[in-house]
Each structure stands twice: as structure tokens, then as C-alpha cells.
Amino acid sequence: MNGKLKDSNVDFLFKAVLALESLEECYDFFEDLCTVTELKALSQRIVVAKMLSEKQVYSEIVNKTGASTATISRVNRSLNYGCDGYEKIFERIDKAEAADKED
């Protein structure tokens, strides 16, 4: 983890996110916390990351998400040189979706 990021305020934010128990609670919390623009930007980045992890090309990502090539490049840099946060989440989502299909 980036040492510049870690502080008590960020810790409190992450504890709040970890306390959320449902998709509806997430909507309520993030609607209170973020502007619509901020939330759309965050959601766009995670979709871009997922598409990049699936080896989709920039032009396809631009067309499907509306993200700029600069945003795609920043997300790609995080995927390649970051803390593997995206990949951890994608693996967990994939595992949860597979378990849901079995039920």
C-alpha cells in the first residue's frame, strides 16, 4: 500500500465501506458521500479495469465506457504496477457470481 495514502481519515472511510452489508446500503452511502460525477468516475474506472483485465483494446473500451484514453492509461498503469487491488476484487466477484449460479 502507498504510505502517502494511509492516515486515520482514510482508515475511517475504509472501515465505513467494510461495514456496508448490501447493495442498497452501498447506494445510500455512496450517494451521501460522493457527487454523481464522482461516483460515475469511480464506477467507470472499475469497469475500464475489468475490461483491460479481460484484454479488451482501448478503442473498444472508449466506445463502451466513454472513458478517455488518459483514464484508460492511468487504470492500465494501476493494473500493471499497482497493488493488485483490482484483481483481488475481480477474483472475489467472479467467485461469488459462480457460487450464485450454483445455487
- Decide if pLDDT at 11 tops 70: yes
Query: Based on the domain organization, do 49 and 93 belong to the same domain?
Result: yes
Query: Based on the domain organization, do 90 and 67 belong to the same domain?
Result: yes
pLDDT tens track for 34-48: 999 999 999 999 999
What is the C-alpha separation between 14 and 58, in angstroms, rounded? 31
| CATH code for position 63 | 1.10.1270.10
Residue 59 placed within a domain: yes
Residue 11 DSSP symbol: H
Q: How many residues does the chain have?
A: 103
Which among 51, 75, 53, 77 is positioned nearest to 64, based on CA atoms?
Answer: 51
% of residues, the chain, pLDDT over 70: 98
- Decide if pLDDT at 1 tops 70: no
Question: How much is the average pLDDT of 77-98?
Answer: 95
Residue 91 placed within a domain: yes
The model's pTM is 0.88
Number of domains the chain contains: 2
